[in-house]
Amino acid sequence: MTGFNAVSIDDRFEFGAHRFTAEEIKRFAGLYDPQPFHTDEEAARNTLFGALCASGWHTSAVMMRLMVDYFRRAAVDAQARGEPAPPALGPSPGFDNLRWMRPVFVGDEISFTGRITDKRLSQSRPGWGIVSMDVVGTNQKGEPVFSYTGHVFMRSE
Amino acid sequence: MSKRHFEDFNVGDRLPLGSRRVTRAEIIAFASEFDPQPFHLDEQTGPDGLVTGLLASGWHVGALFMNMLCTGFLLDSTSMGSPGIEMLKWQHPVRSDDTLTGFSTVLETRTSKSRPDIGIVRFRHEVLNQAGETVMWLENPIMFRRREGDSA
């Protein structure tokens, strides 16, 4: 069965969690998003956030890593059980409604979960479908910090 | 010159982003840490036939755009961060040795009801490669401190 046909609306996934350290927050920010609230504890204190926090792009990239690792583990586990591999991720045309609801501070542990919300055949690329997934990131207090609706191409035949 | 405040953004303004050349080493470094799918790590493995060759992770292109936004105008502004991205399209692959440029167009400006010292500017950002192809575009709001509310 192809990736597209193997997924159903309302399928749910638990991608795992990541704890953000000051070192990695500042390293990512230094490379890509050197705004004071992402690079310097002291400067961050005088901003809307009140303390050093991760770039939203950093939070998003960490979600991607957990998602890739999840599907890789799932493929290995399925193979070990002699079952067909779960859908592999394909290229993505984009996403909608990405929200950074709360800052991700040093020491926060963010857990990501996903749910398939839509699947449709691609009009522009015969043999491919597009699957949409809502992903939510929640901190250790149970507060949502991140959500988005991602879209991914999967083979339909 | 003073920093660019909320009041300095007007609908229709087109602000250039900083330019950025993408290297093979950084495509692989970013992918190794955040998006280790085969087609972001190795020239030989295309993602199941849709595109081929080594491609930068879309999240890497997003992070590179963020840096281009910072050097373009955000670091010299009263930016207070962003609540999110309304939509983003990855339209064209980014490969090693591409040189990215782009611009941000102001779509809308509005003041915050809950925080009178803050204004929100909605942008459409476009990132182009050296051939003039749009590789990514997105629309998002960014918060800026207002001049009237600036007590500093």
* Model confidence pLDDT, tens digit, residues B82-111: 999 999 999 999 999 999 999 999 999 999
Q: Quick check: B128 and B17 in contact, CB under 8 A?
A: no
Instruction: Reduce the secondary structure of B49-70 to three states and give it as a string.
Output: CCCCCCCCCHHHHHHHHHHHHH
Cβ under 8 Å to A: B residues 120-139: none
pLDDT tier, B112 (very low <50, low <70, confident <90, very high otherwise): confident
Angle at A147 between CA B4 and CA A154, to 5 degrees: 115
How many domains is chain B built from?
A: 1
Reported as a single tens digit per residue, the pLDDT across A50-108 is 999 999 999 999 999 999 999 889 888 888 998 877 666 778 999 999 999 999 999 99
Higher-pLDDT residue of A13, B148? A13
Return the CATH number at B94.
3.10.129.10
Q: Using the predicted structure, report yes or no on whether residue B42 has a pLDDT greater than 90.
A: no
What ipTM did this prediction achieve? Answer: 0.94
Q: Which residues of B touch A100 (CB under 8 A)?
A: 81-84
Structure tokens at B107: 């779509």
Question: In the prediction, which pLDDT does A4 show?
Answer: 84
Question: In the prediction, which pLDDT does A138 show?
Answer: 98
| Domain annotation for chain A: domains and CATH numbers | 3-155 (3.10.129.10)
Contact across the interface for B50 and A91, Cβ inside 8 Å: yes
Structural domain boundaries enclosing B87: 6-22+58-145
Reported as a single tens digit per residue, the pLDDT across B5-26 is 999 999 999 999 999 999 999 9
Residue B89 inside a domain? The answer is yes
CA distances from A66 to A19, A113, A140, B137 (A): 12, 10, 17, 25
The reported pTM is: 0.94
Residue B140 inside a domain? The answer is yes
DSSP 3-state of B129: coil
